[in-house]
Structure 1
Amino acid sequence: MPQYPGTPSTLSPGATHRLVDVPGGRIHLVEQGTGPLVLLVHGFPESWYSWRRQLPAIAAAGFRAVAVDVRGYGRSSKPREVEAYGMLAHVADNVGVVHALGAQTATVVGHDWGSPIAAHSALLRPDVFTAVGLLSVPYTPPGGPRPTDVYSRFGGDEEFYISYFQEYGRAEAEMEPDVRGWLAGFYAAVSGDTRSVDGPKPYMVSAGGRLRDRFPVDVRPGWLSDEELDVYASEFEWAGMSGALNRYRNVDRDWADLAAWRGLPLTQPSLFVGGAADPTMDWMAKAVDAFPTTMPNLIASHVLPDCGHWIQQERAEEVNAILTDWLKLLPGQEWHGIDAS
Structure 2
Amino acid sequence: MDPLRPETFNHRTEVLSTSRRYHFVDQVPERYNPGTTPTLLCIHGFPDLWYGWRYQIGPWVRKGYRVIVPDMLGYGGTDKPSEVGEYSTKKLCEDLAGLLDLVGVERAVVIGHDWGSYVASRFALWYPDRLMALVLLSIPYTPPAPMYFPIEEVAKRLPNMGYQVYFADERSTKEVEDNLSTFLSVLFSQPKTGKDFTGLGQLRKLLLDKEDVSSFVGHLNEMEHKYYLDQLANMLGPLSYYRTSKIRYEEEKAGNLSTNLPLDLPVLFLWGTKDPASMPAHVERSRKFIPRLQDFALEGKGHWLMVEAKDVVTEQVLDWLDRLELLRFAAKL
Query: TM class by shorter-chain length?
Result: 0.7 to 0.9
Structure 1 residue 205: Cα displacement: 3.0
Structure 1 residue 252: Cα displacement: 1.6
Preserved CA contact (<8 Å) 1:273 1:301 = yes
Preserved CA contact (<8 Å) 1:151 1:162 = no
**What TM-score do the two structures reach when normalised by structure 2?**
0.88
Q: Write out aligned runs for 1:83-98 (5 A).
A: 83-98=85-100
Match of 2:268 in 1: 271
> Equivalent residue of 1:89, what SS?
helix
Preserved CA contact (<8 Å) 2:163 2:202 = no
Match of 1:314 in 2: 308
Give, in whole Å, the separation in 2 of the partners of 1:57 and 1:113: 23
Residue by residue over 1:241-269, the C-alpha shift from the partner in whole angstroms, topping out at 9 and shown as x without a partner, is 01000011001211111121152334311
Code of the residue aligned with 2:15 in structure 1: it is: D
Code of the residue aligned with 1:223 in structure 2: it is: H
Give the counterpart of 1:135 among 126, 132, 137.
137
Match of 1:223 in 2: 219
Structure 1 residue 32: Cα displacement: 1.7
Stretch moving more, 320-329 or 131-140: 320-329
Structure 1 residue 207: Cα displacement: 8.1
Structure 1 residue 328: Cα displacement: 2.1
Structure 1 residue 202: Cα displacement: 1.5
CA gap 1:303/1:47 in 2 versus in 1, 3 angstroms: same
Match of 1:151 in 2: 154
Residue by residue over 1:84-118, the C-alpha shift from the partner in whole angstroms, topping out at 9 and shown as x without a partner, is 00000110111011111111111110000000101
Give the counterpart of 1:31 among 6, 26, 30.
26
Match of 1:337 in 2: 331
Structure 1 residue 290: Cα displacement: 2.2
For structure 2, the residue ranges without an aligned partner over 5 or more in a row are: 30-36
Question: What is the aligned length?
Answer: 317
Within the alignment, does 1:281 sit opposite 2:278 as a pair?
yes
Residue by residue over 1:123-143, the C-alpha shift from the partner in whole angstroms, topping out at 9 and shown as x without a partner, is 111111221100000001101
**What TM-score do the two structures reach when normalised by structure 1?**
0.86
Stretch moving more, 327-336 or 131-140: 327-336
Structure 1 residue 286: Cα displacement: 3.4
CA gap 1:225/1:159 in 2 versus in 1, 3 angstroms: closer
- For the aligned residues, what is the CA RMSD? 2.5
Structure 1 residue 151: Cα displacement: 2.1
Code of the residue aligned with 1:232 in structure 2: it is: Y
Preserved CA contact (<8 Å) 1:78 1:243 = yes
> Equivalent residue of 1:52, what SS?
helix
Structure 1 residue 236: Cα displacement: 1.0
Structure 1 residue 222: Cα displacement: 5.6
Give the counterpart of 1:117 among 97, 119, 127.
119
Give, in whole Å, the separation in 2 of the partners of 1:301 and 1:159: 23
> Equivalent residue of 1:227, what SS?
helix
Q: Write out aligned runs for 1:1-341 (5 A).
A: 9-12=5-8, 15-22=9-16, 23-34=18-29, 35-148=37-150, 150-154=153-157, 160-168=162-170, 170-188=171-189, 191-192=190-191, 194-196=192-194, 201-206=196-201, 209-210=204-205, 212=207, 217-219=213-215, 221=217, 223-237=219-233, 240-259=234-253, 260-267=256-263, 268-282=265-279, 285-298=280-293, 300-330=294-324, 332-337=326-331
Preserved CA contact (<8 Å) 2:10 2:25 = yes
CA gap 1:218/1:153 in 2 versus in 1, 3 angstroms: same
